[in-house]
Structure 1
Amino acid sequence: GAEMGRSAVVSADEVIARLPDLIPVEINKAQNAGPARVFRLPGARGTIGFISPVSSCFCPSCNRLRLTSNGLLQPCLFSAEGIDIGTAARSGVSSEELSAIIRRAVLAKPEDWRKVAREIPDRCGRCALGRPERQMSQVGG
């Protein structure tokens, strides 16, 4: 993607602050929303959620894995490393074997990044550990 300056970004906080002016919303108090800040439209069946890796650190609440188009299961949005689940799935391994690969990915989630993000709230774990920023198009966003 093209390089974009921070001044061109509208943060999720700005969008969320303007939501009540545009449509009636209520905060969805659902548990286990992970990194998403979720809102409900009264009377609607669905919800709207914001995950904002550019403008807001979500490492402390992250409960997600990312499956890339080439079959890597990434334990962290900002990690270039992953566990190859695609090859196993295409080769016809059992459900138990696929479950074991998924468990490995969950256990590989970088707990230290969440710890850093909690201890230094103004610096997301990826920044505190000196990880280079990547464009959202590079991470599938």
Structure 2
Amino acid sequence: MTTASKTRGSDSVSARRIRARHLADQGKSLREIAGELGVSKDTVSRDLAAMRRDETPDATPDSGSATDPAPRLILPLSRYMADDLAVLAEAGHSEQEAVRLALAMLANAYRRAWLRGIAPRGQRPRIVVREQGEGTRGH
């Protein structure tokens, strides 16, 4: 197996795990989740267990660590967020990296709007998303 195919495989596992967790959060059974994802019930069970392990903070920090563990952000995962995270996982981002990048992009858009006077500081600016090539002449 090549490195590229190994990477794609781990990306699809991440995306599948995100989707499995979302379906479980909706109250679907292991059998229903397995059918929707095209995998066995055992695979779904392992995926959900792995997601729980990844989310559970260590009870005690490392013995050599003088600081507390990093604070954690816990959010309800909507269907849209789960779908978006699955897309980003498929592209090779971890959940943590995807959330960090999304927050940074939105915060930077706010900062630019405030600096340019588009919106008063502390207020949400209106953000318009344009498709590539939109608004250009001659293309």
TM-score by length of 1: 0.24
Higher helix share: 2
Higher strand share: 1
Larger Rg: 2
Q: Which protein has greater RCO, CA pairs closer than 8 Å, 6+ apart?
A: 2
